[in-house]
Amino acid sequence: MHLAELLLLSVGLAMDAFAVSVCKGLSLKKATIKHGMICGAWFGGFQGLMPFLGYLLGSAFVSVIDRFAPWVAFIILSLIGINMLKEAFSGEEEVESPDLGFKTMFAMAIATSIDALAVGVTFVAVPVSVLSATVFINTIFACICIAVITFMISCTGTIIGGAFGSTFRSKAIAVGGIILILLGLKMILSKYLGF
């Protein structure tokens, strides 16, 4: 996985956090930059941590994953993407409370980053190769990249939610789902067609 793919993956993963941040912004009387930074820190932190944990978990099964690497990546990313598309088009709106306390934010950060745990497993199947360094260092770089992009997108989502409402929620989730499905498809095509 190269830089362009990593950036697309980061944006795709951040869309769930963006959607929840928009809802958080909606629930606040007036969303401020401080509110945005709180949401960004929670969501970005967990989006960066979970793929690392997934990578460590996947490393334990590297011999099995290696044999089916592109298919593992394709299946995981496609399932996450399809789930995001279902959520986007279900028409059900989640009601968020204005609470930014530890228990609320911890639960939401875990919920929005579960898919990132699965993506971390794909880092074993399709290693990140952005830096001329070890796979481990590249994986850490990827996790930092995901965290920073999610932080920025979540901050923005909170402010947008406070200003514009829930207009962007389902669109953001749908775009994230499509990005992840296309990345999974690209990994299969790369393996068999050399793209």
Mean pLDDT of 119-126: 85
Mean pLDDT of 179-183: 76
Residue 194 binned pLDDT confidence (cut-offs 50, 70, 90): low
pLDDT score at 166: 55
Residue ranges of alpha helices (H) inside the chain are 3-27, 33-59, 62-67, 69-89, 102-125, 135-164, 169-193
pLDDT score at 183: 73
- State CA 116 to chain mean position distance: 5
- 22, 154 contact by CB (below 8 A): no
Q: Which residue has the higher pLDDT, 121 or 140?
A: 140
Q: The pTM is what?
A: 0.74
